[in-house]
Amino acid sequence: MTELDIVSRLRKYSNKIGDDCAVLSLPGSRDDLLLTMDLMVENVHWVPGDSPRQIGKKAVIRSLSDIAAMGGDPRYCLISLALPKSATRQWIDNYYQGAVAVLRRYGAELVGGDLSRSDTLTCDVMICGTIPRGKALKRGGARPGDRIYVSGPLGAAASRGYSVQNLPEPRIALGRKLRGKATACMDISDGLSIDLHRLCLESRCAASLDGAIPIARGATLEHALHGGEDYELLFTLPPSLHLRIADIHQIGIMQQGTPGAITMDGKPLKPAGHDHFRNK
């Protein structure tokens, strides 16, 4: 059982499942609504003793990055916290301070949530964003010949053991610039190889990586290809479009071929990023 298996079973319930956010039209509204939710669990996403302020920041960065991947503007946030008896008021205060500091930097507001007891410290963040109607950047619009880009060096989080000490910034400003331009876009949360595979599946294309993959300082090519949690944007542009945006890197070209198949320098590249549910 993989996460992809579970998600593909869920897609029988709705055609809105499978992108970074659900995109929803409200009658009479100029904007579409973007909804995304991200779970974090102690001993899975952080370790006991990590700074609650950093955990709070990371929790909202994950969802803000999903809003960025759709080209949206973050607006409202709900946070659920399940707390063991050992959680102190100090821990809770620091967690929310970290989360709210990042939300404010990107124009979003904490507006609610829920609290419960649990043996396992768990938090769940929902962010609601908006985007002008019909402008959301989806995973499924890339065409053969489109150029593939990433928004920055990859592998930093993996090379540091996914510590919450060094957190990336969500690419909200870049996402906005890509509105009406990128044919497909998503954030790299689980690793370039698995996330590009997902983008290719949605776009019913193959891909060849033939440019230099930008590698973060201290990281290896392995980290850059298969490490998650960098939260850079992975996007495609038509070959005719040349954007004057600093720090974006062309890494390959979308191809006709088996949907989801990726080659790197002519050799097959197996998607191998993070999947919570893969049997190891």
Contacts with its own copies: how many residues (CB under 8 A)?
61
Instruction: Determine which residue in the list 21, 156, 182, 184 makes contact with its own copies, applying CB under 8 A.
Output: 21
Shortest Cβ distance from residue 262 to its own copies (Å)? 24
Q: Is 31 in the site for its own copies (CB under 8 A)?
A: yes
Is residue 119 near its own copies by the rule CB under 8 A? yes
Per CB under 8 A, the list member of 13, 86, 165, 268 interacting with its own copies is 13
Contact pick of 39, 213, 261, 272 for its own copies (by CB under 8 A) = 39
Judged by CB under 8 A, the residue of 8, 47, 120, 270 near its own copies is: 120
DSSP character string of 187-206: E-SS-HHHHHHHHHHHHT-E
Q: What binding mask, one character per residue, do residues 51-80 give for its own copies by CB under 8 A, x or -?
A: ------------------------xx-x-x
Smallest gap, in angstroms, from Cβ of residue 113 to its own copies? Answer: 5
Least distance CB 162 / its own copies (angstroms): 14
Nearer to its own copies, 37 or 213 (CB): 37
Q: How far is the CB of 93 from its own copies (least distance, A)?
A: 7
> How distant, in Å, are the alpha carbons of 136, 202, 205, 225, 235 from that of 133?
8, 21, 26, 34, 20
Q: What are phi and psi of 141, to 5 degrees?
A: -105, 0
C-beta separation of 32 from 24 below 8 A: yes
Q: Point out which residues bind its own copies (CB under 8 A).
A: 1, 3, 6-7, 9-10, 13-14, 16-17, 21-22, 24, 26-31, 33, 35-41, 43-45, 75-76, 78, 80-83, 89, 92-93, 96, 100, 109-120, 122, 124, 126, 128, 130, 276-277
